[in-house]
Homo-oligomer: A and B are copies of this chain.
Amino acid sequence: MCLLRVLSAEFIFTICRFAHSLPFATVQAEEISDSRPAEVLNLVQGKWAGSSNWNTVVDPLNGDSFIKVAEVDETGIQPFVESLSSCPKHGVHNPFKAPERYLMFGEISAKAAHMLSLPKVSDFFTRLIQRVSPKSYQQAFGEVYVTQKFLENFCGDQVRFLARSFGVPGNHLGQQSHGFRWPYGPVAIITPFNFPLEIPVLQLMGALYMGNKPVLKVDSKVSIVMDQMLRLLHNCGLPLEDVDFINSDGKTMNKLLLEANPRMTLFTGSSRVAEKLAVDLKGRVKLEDAGFDWKILGPDVLQEDYIAWVCDQDAYACSGQKCSAQSLLFMHENWSKTSLLSKLKDLADRRKLADLTVGPVLTVTTDSMLEHINKLLEIPGSKLLFGGQPLEDHSIPPIYGAMKPTAVYVPLEEIMKAKNFELVTREIFGPFQEVIGQSVNGTAYAGLRARTTGAPQNHWFGPAGDARGAGIGTPEAIKLVWSCHREIIYDFGPVPKNWEVPPST
């Protein structure tokens, strides 16, 4: 077409060509199926590679075998160990070494952000996420959008601004002390199934920006998303050697970590695994496993419709897989006189499998959830508010869960009997101020309009109060998680005239 000949730039060409297909992609999100399964490869030492050992992922909506993952077993980790070990502990770049790489990542981020802003590309990733981590289109698109905005935050010079140092005048002419942000060098990133794009991209780019060489492992059930995203990043200029990507079971990954000995491992996932990793890696970890676990409605009743909607979204969007299963809604008795609970029920009833506003639960089976509900209902005074039954007319495979949105009422005085709950319940009836000042719940959302899903994309998300705690989503999080302080004292001052050797001390 003549129109394209006018332009000499490869990049524009690439963009316009997207109208047809995505040059980086190796799959088509909606056509992955039993008969045309997608393949997830590994990336090490700059090369994509398959495996003799293919793991099969089943479609969470119908049980079909639809993705083949090239799994690395313990015999195959050597190239990954070598790749990681080849990175010196002062990193691939730092404020004194290869500063041009800070600029390179500014350019990669600008290009990748622009790619994700293209409707065809964002649609591709949104649908791919939906295939492996079923949630509504809007929820899946939210991941893509936040990822795009994150990349926009680190265009141009903003990556090198992350490496901003400071200096303080010294004691005498020629002396200054400087503080730098230094990379760890070889690092590992392990991320879970619930946010297949957002969590790995944000942590991966953070690690790269600061000068680290990461090996990335994403839950195999959803790793197809990052397989494709890495290809997009390569397309935008990321050198193939800069990131290794591995699919394996936990045992193999553990072995890799022990042999390659990364100087830092970022783990996002269950606290059980987190605690084990902390021991195995002797504390050289940053952990992110917390979120927003409860909501408190104080004595002032107002904006009932709005509050009901926020409660419904925060509890059931993504089938509750953003929050942990034991999420709580503390409600002052004034609210019980309102129609809030009936409104909550109505909103829950709107959710349906067809548009994935409710969908499969990837880590808990239907039976386990029913059992948990029954135990709760044994508590005196408790009752089922709504839900409590399996989804109907579905083909979700039995290894996954399939439940209607459910709420169980438990009287506060019963909760108060429970071990450890005294503190919690003592806190909740205080006024706002007190609650903030006397808690340590990581990220908190205060105010009438406060929502987890309506917060600015740039806020720090992560636990507070854990010395190993990681954060995600902001320049501060990148700097604290992915770099450490290094101090250099310069002392180029002249030796004073007539200096003489002083006595020993």
User: Which residues of A does B touch, CB under 8 Å?
Assistant: 1, 3-4, 6-9, 11-12, 15-16, 18-20, 88-91, 94-100, 102-103, 106, 110, 113-114, 117-120, 136-139, 149-153, 155-158, 160-161, 163-179, 182, 184-185, 263-264, 275, 278-279, 281-286, 303, 305-306, 308-309, 312-313, 316-317, 347, 350-351, 357, 423, 433, 436-440, 442-451, 454-462, 464-469, 471, 474-477, 480, 484-495, 499, 501-505
- Select A446's contact among B100, B263, B490, beta carbons within 8 Å: B490
A489→B166 contact, CB < 8 A: no
Q: CA separation between A420 and B391, bound complex, in Å? A: 60
Which chain B residues border A350 with CB–CB below 8 Å? 503-504
CB distance from A280 to the nearest CB of B (A): 9
Which chain B residues border A139 with CB–CB below 8 Å? 505
CB distance from A345 to the nearest CB of B (A): 13
Q: CA separation between A168 and B157, bound complex, in Å? A: 10
- Select A167's contact among B178, B282, B316, beta carbons within 8 Å: B178
Can you give 26 contacting A-B residue pairs, CB < 8 Å? A7-B19, A12-B118, A16-B16, A95-B169, A96-B437, A103-B171, A138-B505, A157-B458, A160-B458, A163-B168, A175-B447, A175-B455, A177-B458, A177-B459, A182-B464, A309-B501, A350-B504, A351-B504, A442-B486, A446-B490, A446-B491, A446-B492, A455-B491, A465-B486, A469-B484, A480-B485
Which chain B residues border A117 with CB–CB below 8 Å? 11, 110
Q: Kindly report how many copies of this chain are found in the complex they form together.
A: 4
Known: A456-B157, A495-B449. A89 touches B440 (CB 8 A): yes
With CB as the reference atom, state the residue of chain B lying closest to A426.
Answer: B88
Which chain B residues border A263 with CB–CB below 8 Å? 465-467
B153→A157 contact, CB < 8 A: yes
CB distance from A313 to the nearest CB of B (A): 7
With CB as the reference atom, state the residue of chain B lying closest to A160.
Answer: B169
CB distance from A501 to the nearest CB of B (A): 5
Which chain B residues border A455 with CB–CB below 8 Å? 170-171, 175, 177, 489, 491
